[in-house]
Chain A
């Protein structure tokens, strides 16, 4: 896997977009893998009965997508220190969830070279449904 170095990072730089074509099957896999068996993610009549427009994608699955966006970008020598996400908008199985990110700040703290990245998932309408921020430590240079 490719490695990115601190000195190559610029504020405003965009992360390569990670696209996730979601399916109900994937939500069932996630339910099994995560232990989150809330029916709103796989039982459509149940979801509708609770007032939702249909099945919705697990928030934590979207958080995991954003985690992958960041870890793919930072490479094996990078370290993800922190990630936070807010579940603002619902996404639905069948949707393509676009995971995007942008470097907002690079700085050093002690001996660590840190980069703050703004991350979000975007739906087909271009709305940010899961905005968040991540902090990674990167190696200095090759």
Chain B
């Protein structure tokens, strides 16, 4: 058993997926979803909630909060991998977002994710796999609106 646990959890099958773009996740941005997001966070910024207020800002209307990328938009892709990972427990290690263009209600966001790296270490949770990924978010005009990078932890 001890011998087995020292074997790499990064299989040749997994390595084949590095750099391969996954299927696109399509997400239609709705005002109601933006509102629910804001309620969950406790963010009452009128730029996301009040059309009259938002009209007078530089955006000319409601935009989606920046944290709206990530889980709401790419939840379809989150945690779903085309390969088997022997470590079944999952945590989020970290996230980074670059915001390029505002996203508005009515926009359709098409996100594609790819694995960029696998690393493994023996940590306080035992054998731990770190999967780095990059997600590109485009709107219905094909404009890149945001780029997300993240680390998923399996243990």
Contacts and interface: CB of A to CB of B under 8 A. Distances in A.
Interface residues of B, number: 36
B71 interface: yes
A88 to B, nearest CB: 8
Interface stretch (B15-23, B94-102, B111-119): B94-102
A86 to B, nearest CB: 4
B98 A81 contact: yes
B66 A34 contact: no
A68 B90 contact: no
A35 B75 contact: yes
A35 to B, nearest CB: 3
B42 A60 contact: no
Interface residues of A, number: 35
Contact of A61 (B40, B91, B93, B96): B40
Contact of A87 (B33, B43, B94): B94
> Which residue, of A59, A64, A68, has the highest number of chain B Cβ atoms within 10 A?
A64
Interface in B42-101: 42-43, 45-47, 57-58, 65-67, 70-72, 75-76, 78-79, 89-99
A80 B36 CA distance: 21
Chain A binding site: helix, strand, loop or mixed by DSSP? mixed
Contacts of B33: 33
Contacts, number: 104
Contacts of A51: 89, 125
Contacts of A59: 91-92, 94-95
A61 B41 contact: yes
A81 B97 CA distance: 8
A60 B67 contact: yes
A67 B47 contact: no
A20 interface: yes
Nearest to A135: B98
Contacts of B37: 33-34, 64
Interface stretch (A6-14, A69-77, A104-112): A69-77
A26 B41 CA distance: 8
14 contacts: A26-B42, A29-B39, A29-B40, A35-B78, A50-B89, A51-B125, A64-B41, A67-B66, A68-B45, A68-B67, A71-B45, A76-B57, A83-B97, A86-B94
Interface of A: 1, 20, 26, 29-30, 32-36, 38, 50-51, 58-61, 63-65, 67-68, 71-72, 76-77, 79-87
The 6 A-B pairs at the shortest CB distance, nearest first, are namely: A35-B75, A84-B96, A64-B67, A34-B71, A86-B94, A29-B40
Interface of B: 33, 36-37, 39-43, 45-47, 57-58, 65-67, 70-72, 75-76, 78-79, 89-99, 125, 149
